[in-house]
Amino acid sequence: MCKILIVVNLIFTFGCAMGQDRMDHLFDLAVSASPGQFSTAASWVHMHRFGKKERLQLGYGVRLTSFVGANKFYTTAPAEYTSTRQDIATIFSETIDSNIDTITTATAITYCLNATFNAQYRIAPRWDIGLNIDITGVSFGPQRQFNIISSSFDANQQPVESGSPTHFNLLLTSDNDIGSLNSEFFVRFWATPKIGLRGGYTFLFSEYRTHQELSFDNGRIVNDRFRHKAGMALVAITFKPFN
């Protein structure tokens, strides 16, 4: 993680040394949706242009994301239960289905304020492709009541438990991630020099922490973190007011 931050810092330092005119400030409003779930995001991004033709742009920013899901399932989150590996290769490891338990709530609402990493590439005049991902930040939102849906739920526990969004967010890898994190993959068309329109795909983690730890399978699994993974269609508008 530290090595990555050092490399990113070097890139931005180099970019800054090339001159202040090689950077852009982007403001963006995004809406994402798929059946039963909805997300909005407002962000500010500081992009640095790289290369002779300045096609590659890397940057950082801040994003406020809201997520609303109706009757969505939240499943066991910690990688120690969900994946056969807990290192950086978690993303390629198999999911351990027998360790996955489910809780659900009528209306999930999470907000997260995260620092972002952003990258985009100019593929043609007025056209960019890119991606961005939340790195770390905080989450908040109203408390919710969750129903536990599991055939291995241990006795002497309440079948309905309250929970709140996990407060701290951190991007690691795949199921190692903690909290609520947003990411987008997009194509942008610059309709004018200052206004761009984006379309693409949003992949978002929304995570709740139950107020009591829940015990499953005769105490083999004791967990309070549950995650919903939302894939949604994305539309957005980007403003570049200072260029």
Partner 1 sequence: MIPKFLAIVALVLLSSSCEDAVDSPSTSGSNPTNPATGNPRPSGGLKHGAFTSYEHNLKGSVTLHLDTLDGAFIRLEEFTMLQGPDVRVYVSKSNNYSQANTIEIGSLKDSYLNENIDIPIANYSETYKFVLVYCLEFHSLFGYAELE
User: Which residues make up the interface to partner 1 (CB under 8 A)?
Assistant: 71, 73, 104, 106, 145, 147-151, 153, 155, 159-160
In the complex, minimum distance from the CB of residue 102 to partner 1, in angstroms, rounded to a whole number: 9
> Which residues are 156's β-sheet partners?
none
Minimum distance of partner 1 from residue 226's CB (angstroms): 14
Tell me whether residue 9 or residue 71 sits nearer to partner 1 (CB atom): 71
Minimum CB distance to partner 1 smaller for 82 or for 104: 104
Task: Please choose, from the candidates 170, 175, 107, 173, the residue with its C-alpha nearest in 3D space to the C-alpha of residue 141.
Answer: 107
Nearest distance, CB of residue 202 and partner 1, angstroms: 24
CB of 53 to partner 1, least distance (A): 53
Whole-number Å distance between alpha carbons of 119 and 113: 19
Burial of 20 (0-12, 13-18, 19+ CB in 10 A): exposed
Residue with tokens 């992009």: 47
Dihedral sign, CA of 205, 188, 240, 121?
A: positive
C-beta closer to partner 1: residue 81 or 146: 146
Q: Which is nearer to partner 1, 103 or 234 (CB)?
A: 103
In the complex with partner 1, which residue's Cβ is closer, 88 or 222?
222
Q: Which is nearer to partner 1, 38 or 189 (CB)?
A: 38
The rounded distance, in Å, linking the Cα atoms of 110 and 213 is: 20
Rounded to the nearest whole angstrom, what is the least distance from the CB of residue 71 to partner 1 in the complex? 5
CA distance 197 to 148: 41
Contact 118, 58 (CB under 8 A): yes
| Residues 77, 209: Cα–Cα separation, whole Å | 10
* Shortest CB 161 distance to partner 1, Å: 10
Q: How many residues does the chain have?
A: 243
Distance CA 222, CA 16 (A): 48
